[in-house]
């Protein structure tokens, strides 16, 4: 594999407005990866429309995905590097939760009172936006039986917007996305409130291509932990609420997400 073939992308918490901050974090992280001897580390992140194509492409060096595809559609395509920590309400070290968001005029006091309503989801490959409802709804229910309408509209941000405008009655949103929107684009949360928060699950992992060697995975981890400890990168980490990382066993993801079909 030549250096020119390698690429990286961090698409999971990367609204257009956040991307300069994400790139600053990557620039610092990339320097630490090179210092550990990782070859072909790109200067710039790429932002493909098709994230799955990037995750599966030859030369994929570093990225971030959701735990659900990690153990399903990407199970043979990527390797787990580490799980970042985020200093936001709903996170506990490498674990994260989803907030159920409703309109701020909605009188509901619990999820059961949302029955028959309109649900917005970012996509059916998302744990925090779609599959988490299996843990939130009454036993024996799923989103199709419980809600009157389910609309997949592409992103957590769009889901929140649909609740704020009254096009949907509820959505479930990754707590990190919610916090970053609050930090950067707080006006987009106006007209909404958090009804409840789900139990936690392993967070969105950093991954590399399946062909990456054990030795290079170790170097990626060493570079990542060095970047997380680098005082010069504190502003970049703060902007993205990054507070650390853990190396979880792949089995933790399988136990959390493999039974979710």
- As a whole number, mean pLDDT of residues 202-211 equals 97
Model confidence at 111, pLDDT cuts 50, 70, 90, reads very high
pTM tops 0.85: yes
pLDDT for the residue 210: 96
Describe the crossing of helices 175-185 and 156-164 by its angle, rounded to 10 degrees. Answer: 70
Model confidence at 260, pLDDT cuts 50, 70, 90, reads low
Is the confidence at residue 1, as pLDDT, over 50? no
Q: Give the DSSP letter string of the chain.
A: --GGG-EEE--TT--GGGHHHHHHHHHHHHHHHHHTT-SS--SS----S-HHHHHHSTTEEEEE--HHHHHTTTTTTEEEEEEEEE-STT-BTTEE-EEEEEETT----SGGGGTT-EEEES-TT-IIIIITHHHHSPTT--HHHHSSEEEE-S-HHHHHHHHHTTS-SEEEEEHHHHHHHHHHHGGGGTTEEEEEEPPPEE---EEEETT--HHHHHHHHHHHHHHHH-GGGHHHHHHTTEEEEE---HHHHHHHHTT--
Average pLDDT over the chain reads 95
Q: How far lies 94's CA from each of 97, 150, 203, in Å?
A: 10, 30, 6
Q: Which is nearest to 51 in space by CA: 36, 64, 41?
A: 64
What domains are defined for the chain?
3-87+203-257 (3.40.190.10), 98-199 (3.40.190.10)
37: number of Cβ within 10 Å: 11
pLDDT for the residue 258: 80
pLDDT for the residue 5: 63
pLDDT for the residue 261: 47
Describe the crossing of helices 214-229 and 19-35 by its angle, rounded to 10 degrees. Answer: 120
Q: What is the pLDDT of residues 138-194, one digit of tens each?
A: 999 999 999 999 999 999 999 999 999 999 999 999 999 999 999 999 999 999 999
Measured distance CA(245)–CA(81) in Å, rounded: 10
Measured distance CA(17)–CA(185) in Å, rounded: 9
Is the confidence at residue 2, as pLDDT, over 90? no
Are the CB atoms for 106 and 118 separated by under 8 Å? no
Stated length of the chain: 261
């Amino acid at each position: 594999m030549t250096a020119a073939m390698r690429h990286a992308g961090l698409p999971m918490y990367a609204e257009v407005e956040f991307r300069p901050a994400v790139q600053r974090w990557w620039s610092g992280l990339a320097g630490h990866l090179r210092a550990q001897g990782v070859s072909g580390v790109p200067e710039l992140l790429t932002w493909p429309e098709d994230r799955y194509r990037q995750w599966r492409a030859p030369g994929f060096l570093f990225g971030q995905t959701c735990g659900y595809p990690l153990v399903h559609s990407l199970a043979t395509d990527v390797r787990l590097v580490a799980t970042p920590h985020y200093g936001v309400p709903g996170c506990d070290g490498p674990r994260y939760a989803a907030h159920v968001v409703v309109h701020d005029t909605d009188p509901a006091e619990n999820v059961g009172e949302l029955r028959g309503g309109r649900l917005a989801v970012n996509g059916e490959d998302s744990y925090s936006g779609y599959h988490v409802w299996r843990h939130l709804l009454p036993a024996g229910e799923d989103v199709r039986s419980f809600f009157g309408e389910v609309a997949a509209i592409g992103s957590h941000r769009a889901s929140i917007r649909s609740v704020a405008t009254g096009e949907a009655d509820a959505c479930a949103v990754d707590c990190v996305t919610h916090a970053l929107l609050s930090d950067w684009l707080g006006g987009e949360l106006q007209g909404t409130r958090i009804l409840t928060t789900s139990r936690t699950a392993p967070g969105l992992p950093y991954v590399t291509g399946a062909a990456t060697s054990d030795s290079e995975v170790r170097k990626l981890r060493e570079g990542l932990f060095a970047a997380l400890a680098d005082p010069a990168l504190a502003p970049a980490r703060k902007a993205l609420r990054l507070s650390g990382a853990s190396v979880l066993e792949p089995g933790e993801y399988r136990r959390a997400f493999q039974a979710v079909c």
